[in-house]
Chain A
Amino acid sequence: MIIVFFVLAFVAVGCAISMLITRNAIYSALFLVLNFATVAILYLILGAPFIALSQITVYAGSVIVLFLFVVMLLGAERLPGGEPLRWQRFIAMALGLVLAVNLGLAITQQAGDLGMLAAPEKGFGAPVEVGRVLFSQYVLPVQIVAFILLVAVVGAVVLSRSEEISHRRELYRKPEAKE
């Protein structure tokens, strides 16, 4: 099991790195799919099949389609070479270093013994349990998700074509006015 974990972890990190350094945005998105898929298998190992498959459904299925659409919408498949903001690199390095130190400290100091955890009991992570917990213990987050989605749709509609649409609706609604 530990071998499977490390193989998956390396694949996931490798995909993430390739995603960052590829110059072609389509390839970046596809590497992200691979990354999501490996993370989903990690969830499967943890005994949470529902979470694993919803990860694939939501992220690899729909979010990636949105990403690809946006990339193709902007015509930004191939990034130009060079960096528009040179100074970013130093800040990024500094921040990366801080993160690495932070992670190192967290692992060495706080995590304590990182032995193999006991296998979860039978039925843990089953859909029934997820449903029960989602709609009793975590009601507020679930409702907040609904509102966030509402905001997302409203934003997308407003940003993309509000004026154009109202114009077109006039045309459809009052055919008499046109004649």
Chain B
Amino acid sequence: MLTDYLPLVVIIVFSVILAFLVVALGHLFGPKRPSEKKSMPYESGMVPYGPGQRRMTVRYYLIAVLFILFDIEVVFFLPWAVAFRDLGLPGFLLMVAFVVVLEVAHLYAWKKGALEWE
């Protein structure tokens, strides 16, 4: 029930509040003298042009897809790892089948060169 997780909730709330407090303290003590030049985005002295957010490379997308792949794999494996003593041989083989399918995906991306960067 939720009361079991009450300490967790307390710590979550408290650490967020603490971080907010520290940042707010900086507001209290720090000077506030904004100026045009000061608030320019710092791009090594060049006057910035265009928006600060540019389009990303498609590679990052691939990395994210691979990340999801393995993340879901791990989410399935964690309960397997806890219960594997009871599952016996069939459980083990099923897990191996799961790994093999995912490794095929990983190796496919690898062999296709999707993991090459320059």
Residues of A at the B interface (CB closer than 8 Å) are 1, 4, 44-45, 47, 49-50, 54, 57-58, 61-63, 65-66, 69-70, 72-75, 77, 119, 127-132, 134-136, 139, 142-143, 145-147, 149-150, 152-154, 156-157, 160-162, 165-166, 168-169, 172
Contact = CB atoms under 8 A, between A and B. Distances in A.
A157 B112 contact: yes
B73 to A, nearest CB: 8
B83 A128 contact: yes
Contacts of A73: 55-58, 60-61
B1 A119 contact: yes
Interface in B45-96: 53-62, 64-69, 71-73, 75-76, 78-84, 86-87, 90-91, 94-95
A165 B114 contact: yes
Interface string B37-48: 000000000000
8 contacts: A50-B79, A69-B64, A72-B56, A73-B58, A127-B78, A131-B87, A156-B65, A157-B112
Contact of A57 (B71, B97, B106): B71
Nearest to B8: A44
A135 B80 contact: yes
Contacts of A65: 64, 67
B75 to A, nearest CB: 4
Interface of B: 1-2, 5, 53-62, 64-69, 71-73, 75-76, 78-84, 86-87, 90-91, 94-95, 97-98, 101-102, 104-106, 108-109, 112-114, 116, 118
B85 to A, nearest CB: 9
Contact of B104 (A44, A49, A75, A150): A150
A131 B80 contact: yes
A135 B71 contact: no
Given A66-B64, A119-B1, A130 B79 contact: yes
- Of all A-B residue pairs in the complex, the 10 with the closest CB atoms, nearest first, are A131-B83, A131-B79, A165-B113, A153-B105, A146-B101, A130-B79, A66-B64, A75-B55, A156-B65, A150-B105
Given A131-B84, A168-B118, 6 more contacts: A4-B2, A73-B55, A77-B53, A143-B97, A153-B106, A165-B114
